[in-house]
Structures are given as structure tokens and as C-alpha cells.
Amino acid sequence: MTKDNKPVLSAEQKKEKNKEFLLNYALYFVLGLMILFIIIYDPSFLSVGNFWNILRF
């Protein structure tokens, strides 16, 4: 344990923890990338009208 009472993780434990984080949040990461690509491809995606159309459903 360190002075702030956090356990010291080995390199293998850190690797496993990072892998678990990526698996848990992979869907959000992919969704974010898809939205980013859509915005780059069609900047009108960020229009106010489109935002209201999304909220209506």
C-alpha cells in the first residue's frame, strides 16, 4: 500500500485493469468514433434542426 492507502498494482494487474476498462466501455468508444466520423463527413449533422429531430424520438 502507498501512503494514500491505495494498493500498488503490478504491471500484469495494471494491464488486466486497462483491458477490463476497454471492454466495459468499448461500445461508447465506438459510438463516439462513429459520431465523430459523421460530423467530419457531414457538418450539417450538428445543426439545431437535426438535434431537435433526434430529441423528438
Q: Which string of DSSP letters, residue by residue, matches 1-57?
A: --TTSPPPPPHHHHHHHHHHHHHHHHHHHHHHHHHHHHHHH-GGGG-HHHHHHHHH-
CA dist 5 and 48 (Å) reads: 48
Range of the domain at 17: 11-56
Number of domains the chain contains: 1
pLDDT tens for residues 2-57?
567 777 888 888 899 999 999 999 999 999 999 999 999 998 888 999 889 888 87
pTM of structure: 0.59
Q: Is residue 4 part of a domain?
A: no
Q: Is residue 40 part of a domain?
A: yes
pLDDT at 8: 85
Q: Is residue 5 part of a domain?
A: no
Q: Is residue 27 part of a domain?
A: yes
* Chain position carrying cell 457538418: 43
pLDDT at 6: 76
Q: Is residue 1 part of a domain?
A: no
Q: Is residue 44 part of a domain?
A: yes
Q: Is residue 28 part of a domain?
A: yes
